[in-house]
Structure 1
Amino acid sequence: MKKIYGNEQLKSTLERMAVSGRTAHSLIISGEKGSGRKSIAKYYTQALMCEAPVEGRPCGVCNTCKNICNDVHPDVIYPKKTGKLGNYSVETAREVIADAYIKPNNSSGCKVYIFADCCNVDDRTQNALLKLIEEPPEYAYFIFTCGSKSEFLPTIISRCVCFTTSPCTEEEAAEALAESGHGQQEISAAVSCFHGNIGMCESYISDGELRKRVDLTKSLADSIIRKDEYALTVGLFSLGRERGDVRETLSMLDKLVRDAAVLAKDSSAHTIGCFREGALALSQAVTAYQSARLHSCIENAWRAVERNVGIPLALTALGAEIMEIVG
């Protein structure tokens, strides 16, 4: 079983639940993308189903643990996403409901459904699952991973035990990346961008498209600092029309703006974005009030995209607002 760095308190809590026999049947595990949400979901699943657990900790070497780790256990189900937005549909919910009442065929007597990366799940889907989550079969468990528990209806949240993951230290991230066989230069570049977020560091090293989005975020920041409206417009339009790419880049830009506001008060403060040098330069170019306004307009642009406003239109409006703020 691959070592899980950080989140020690969360793992300890899950282990105590397993030892006591008071395991939660419905969990929401929230946290930043790459912070270990799915790893924790698998860890809890292994703790529930392991053939030889030690004080609530899965052994990691039995066939059950290995199968869960490799996503091939027949009683650990990842419900499918469908549609243009790649989300959980009402039809998927109905399939889960029907399947949940078929008893598992394994020594642990558990059946686990992992709804990974929940975002903007339709209220109808959540309402369809509500009764099952409220009164599940004794062998059925449901785990939802997401960026924030606010993705869910209050009725769902009230019926789940909620946990939040957190990034590791940069030292732990570097250790994890070295364990995966990455070179020091790759590790340094990844950690400078994504700090203790091991998942995002791994993606930065392996995914050329993510590296392009990081470079684009840096370019957008430079355009704002220079108050270059043309370069900003070109950069925003180069985001394309894939919602995931737009969301990720706007999130990185928003973190950079946050860093600028923090660095304006303390130039030695810890940063969370991918471009410390750019954030420092931006902190000298805009006021705290302007930083707050930039944050609001970036957030509003993404909300507009979520409401199905055309991406080019939303980004055009964003560019105009940014220039109005810093101009």
Structure 2
Amino acid sequence: MKKIYGNKQLLDALAGMRASGRTAHSLMIWGEKGSGKKLIAKYYTQALMCETPENGKPCGRCNACVNVEKDIHPDVVYPERSGKLGNYSVKTARDIIADAYVKPNNSSGCKVYIFADCSHVQEQTQNALLKLIEEPPEYAYFIFTCGSKSEFLPTIISRCVCFSTAPCTEEEAEASLADSGYAPQDIQAAVSCFHGNIGMCESYINDEALRRQVDLTKSLADSIIRKDEYALSVGLFSLGRERDDVREVLSMLDKLIRDAAVLGKDETARTIGCFREGARALSRSLTAYQSARMHSRIEKAWSAVESNVGIPLALTALGAEIMEIVG
């Protein structure tokens, strides 16, 4: 079983529920991408399925724990996604409702459904699941992971026990990456960009596309620092037309702007963005008001993209507004 770094309080709470027999039938785990939501969901599933739990914690050695770890346990279900956006459909909800009343065949007597990475789940899908979540069979458990609780209707949230993931320290991230066998220079580069977010650090080491996105974000920050409108326009244009790329880069740029505002008040403050040196340079040229305006423009650009405004048009407008702000 993979060791989980950080989030001790959350893990202790889950173990406490298992040890006391007061396990939550519906659990929601939310937090930023890469913060360990799916790993913690698997940990809770192992605790439910484990043949020899130890103070509510999974042993990690029994057949049930091993099968959950390998994603081959027959009574652990990852519902099917469909459509262009890869969402959970009403059909999927109905399939789960039918399957939930088929009793499990394992020593724990549990059946677990893990809805991972929930985003823009249709209201109809949530309403279809509501009755099942309200009155589940005694053996059925439902786990939802998401970036924010706002992805769900209040009626779903009110029927779940909700936990948010907490960031790890950079030291914990370095230890985790070292345990996974990554080279020291790769660990240093990854942690300098994504700090205690272990999942994103691993992605940075393994995913060339993410490294390109980080480099582009740094290039955009440099363009803003130099007040180079042409370079900023070229950088934004190079993002292309893929929404995922646009979302990632705008999110990273927004964190840099946040860091600049914080460092403007306290040069020793902890940063969350991928380019501390760039944030420090921006803090010397941007006022808090300018940073707030820039944050607002970035949010506006992403909202436009989500509303199906053409990506090139939305990014062109963003570049012009940023240049207007920096003067």
Give the shorter-chain TM-score range: over 0.9
- Output one character per residue of 1:130-156: Cα deviation in whole Å (capped at 9) or x when no partner: 111111111111111011111111111
Which SS does the other structure have where 2:172 is aligned? helix
CA–CA separation in structure 2 for the residues paired with 1:23 and 1:309: 45
Cα offset for 1:308?
Answer: 2.4
Partner of 1:294: 294
Query: What amino acid sits opposite 2:266 in the alignment?
Result: D
The root-mean-square deviation of aligned C-alpha atoms, in Å, is 1.0
Tell me by how many angstroms 1:283 deviates: 0.8
Q: What are the within-5 Å matches in structure 2 for residues 213-292 of structure 1?
A: 213-292=213-292
**Which residue does the alignment assign to 1:163?**
163
Indicate the larger mover: 264-273 or 300-309.
300-309
Q: Deviations over 1:106-137 (max 9, x none)?
A: 11111111111111111111111111111111
Letter aligned with residue 52 of structure 2: A
Which segment is superposed worse, 70-79 or 298-307? 298-307
* Matched residue, 2:153: 153
Looking at structure 1, the residues matched to 117 and 63 of structure 2 have their Cα atoms a distance apart, in angstroms, of 26
SS in 2 for 1:29: strand
Deviation at 1:307, TM superposition (A): 2.2
Question: Does 1:20 pair with 2:20?
Answer: yes
3-state SS in 1 of match to 2:52: coil
- 1:237 and 1:59 mapped to 2: Cα distance? 51
In 1, Cα distance between the equivalents of 2:318 and 2:132? Answer: 42
> Which residue pairs with 2:121 in the alignment?
121
Q: Distance in 1 between matches of 2:215 and 2:235?
A: 10
Letter in 2 for 1:31: G
In the alignment, the residues of structure 2 paired with residue 126 and residue 317 of structure 1 have an alpha-carbon distance, to the nearest angstrom, of: 35
* Equivalent residue number for residue 306 of structure 1: 306
CA–CA distance in structure 2, aligned partners of residues 317 and 113 of structure 1:
43
Spell out the pairing of 1:143-222 with structure 2 (5 A cutoff): 143-222=143-222
Q: d(CA) in 1 for partners of 2:87 and 2:321?
A: 31
Amino acid at match of 1:309: V
Q: Which amino acid aligns with 1:212?
A: R
Residues 80 and 177 of structure 1, relative CA distance in 2, 3 Å threshold: same
Unaligned runs of 5+ in 1: none
Deviation at 1:313, TM superposition (A): 2.1
DSSP-derived class of the 2:56 partner: coil
| TM-score normalised according to structure 2 size | 0.98
In structure 2, C-alpha distance between the alignment counterparts of 1:165 and 1:206, rounded to whole Å: 23
- Aligned residue identity for 1:134: E
CA shift at 1:290, angstroms? Answer: 0.5
Q: Tell me how far apart the structure 1 counterparts of residues 125 and 307 of structure 2 sit (CA, whole Å).
A: 18
Amino acid at match of 2:72: V
Deviates more, 1:234-243 or 1:101-110: 234-243
TM-score normalised per structure 1 = 0.98
Which sits farther off after the overlay, 315-324 or 208-217? 315-324
Q: After alignment, is 314-323 or 196-205 more displaced?
A: 314-323
Q: Which residue does 1:67 correspond to in 2? A: 67
Paired with 2:301 and 2:137, the residues of 1 have a C-alpha distance of 42
Q: Secondary structure at the match of 1:97?
A: helix
SS of residue paired to 1:112: strand
Deviations 1:40-81 (A, max 9, x none): 100100111101100100000111111111111111111122
Match of 2:93 in 1: 93
Aligned to 1:34: 34
Q: Deviation of residue 309 (structure 1)? A: 2.2
Letter in 2 for 1:267: E
C-alpha distance in 2 between matches for 1:91 and 1:234: 43
Tell me the distance in 2 between the aligned counterparts of 1:51 and 1:221: 52
Q: Secondary structure at the match of 1:12?
A: helix
